[in-house]
Amino acid sequence: MRKNNIVMARGKNRLPADKRKASVAANEDGHSVDWEALLAGLNGGKFVVEYGADRNIFRQGQAAGSLFYLRRGEVKLSVTSKQGKEAIVAVLQAGDFFGEGCLAGQQLRIATAIAVSDCTLMKINKQAMARMLHEQHDISELFVTHLLSRNIRFEGDLVDQLFNSSEKRLARILLLLARFGKERKSAKVLPRINQDHLSQMVGTTRSRVSHFMNKFKKLGFIDYNNGGDLTVNNSLLGVVLHD
């Protein structure tokens, strides 16, 4: 049985001001923020944790006393109703935070976090993170911007769920999972994002997802290699943009 490995991070001094400013400046130039460097400024209160695929990081209803920064791998957030119905609300990738509700007074987890693939995370005590955000306003602004950007994406998911067809929703989710961008024509999606997961995210049946995936493949929008990896081509955008 696989075990979670928890490693105590060595204590580090606060990140020097010049390096901290360099990390902030990178964001102002339109590049991704170096959260690894910024979080190195935390004095204690953080641990490096590793989870194997399909392991629970935390469960819905558990006490919320920390947040996580995803360094490597993919994590899905799911919620379960009182009737036992499960829905995937988000799939997070390297560079994302999750579990930050504890910073706003959330006492219990409102979702379950599960490792989709082997993951390396930084587990951060809420008191340590709150202290850093209070003392270092430049990092606080970056953190708020990061969360707002993610919430905008979640709002887009909600609008998509309410007003678009299941075919469009599936196409949009595939593009998001592939981190589709203008800088490349195609990107791989993890093979562990299977059709059962996709059906939960789209809000439809697995048979409908299978039907649309076969359709997308015939039209050349997606493809599979011998290892089962899924490649999403930029032509799939046409499904999302078509009225």
90 close to 155: Cβ distance less than 8 angstroms: no
Distance CA(204)–CA(206), nearest Å, equals: 7
Band the pLDDT of 5: cuts 50, 70, 90.
Answer: very low
CATH 1.10.10.10 maps onto the chain at 165-241
Nearest Cα residue to 38 out of 167, 98, 29, 46: 46
Mean pLDDT value across residues 203-213: 89
Residue 175 and residue 240: Cα distance in Å, rounded? 10
Per-residue model confidence as pLDDT tens digits over 108-161 = 999 999 998 899 999 999 999 999 999 999 999 999 998 888 888 777 776 666
User: In the chain, where does the domain assigned CATH 2.60.120.10 lie?
Assistant: 5-160
List residues bridging with 186 in a β-sheet.
Answer: 233
d(CA 45, CA 123): 8
CATH number 2.60.120.10 given to 5-160: yes
Q: How far is CA 204 from CA 34, 47, 103, 207, 240, in A?
A: 37, 38, 34, 8, 17
User: Per-residue pLDDT tens for 78-112?
Assistant: 898 888 888 888 888 889 999 999 999 999 999 99
The CATH number that domain 165-241 falls under is 1.10.10.10
pLDDT over 70 percentage in the chain:
77
